[in-house]
Amino acid sequence: KQEVTQIPAALSVPEGENLVLNCSFTDSAIYNLQWFRQDPGKGLTSLLLIQSSQREQTSGRLNASLDKSSGRSTLYIAASQPGDSATYLCAVNSGNTPLVFGKGTRLSVIA
Amino acid sequence: NAGVTQTPKFQVLKTGQSMTLQCAQDMNHNSMYWYRQDPGMGLRLIYYSASEGTTDKGEVPNGYNVSRLNKREFSLRLESAAPSQTSVYFCASRDVWTGELFFGEGSRLTVL
């Protein structure tokens, strides 16, 4: 059974710092991995989707990498801003079964 | 550009009452999902529908029923609400070609 873990559960950084959020999964037989952002009281917004054949995806200040063999993905946020404060979740797609989610990392960027 | 639309956004019920959460997507996706989100528990899958006419149980189906009315709509029904069903409910749909999942804004349900 696929399990997804995100460490740390919470992270606080000063504005301007570059940071890395981690996501690990137990079964490397995945189709893709998706990173989401969730603001308090809101739904989940898709940030990046990495297919299993890809090593990384970039969108603006965000870069997500995928290492299937080690069961890990990282979300790199460059030059963090207070507006980046949110909970970040990763989810793994292992085929026609529903995605498996981590519990998220709650990020606070302090001005 | 509506995406996934859920109604209602907020609801307060008394124990034993019934209600239906509605979800519709306009992206022509085959797969649709209902999740609940509780503090410390993360997202948990209640039911899903891989295609029109099919539904399957997820991790926490007890106390819920679903109907895939057509390709666009997937409803979640609580027949006899319990305080343990107080939660935020999210509907989602998935693009079969890319695997990308899209969420609605959520429905906050309180059962007294």
Residue of B nearest to A87 (CA): B42
Q: pLDDT digits over B28-49, tens only?
A: 999 999 999 998 888 999 999 9
What is the mean pLDDT for each group of 10 consecutive residues in chain A (111 residues)?
A: 93 96 94 95 94 94 96 97 97 85 96 94
Q: Verify whether the Cβ–Cβ distance A44 to B103 is below 8 Å.
A: yes
**Beta carbons within 10 angstroms of residue A53's beta carbon:** 9
Question: Which distant-in-sequence residues (6+ apart) come within 8 Å of A13 by Cβ?
Answer: A19, A80, A107, A108, A109, A110
Q: Is A24 part of the contact surface with chain B (CB cutoff 8 Å)?
A: no
Q: Verify whether the Cβ–Cβ distance B42 to A43 is below 8 Å.
A: no
What is the mean pLDDT for each group of 10 consecutive residues in chain B (112 residues)?
A: 90 97 96 94 93 93 95 96 97 90 95 96
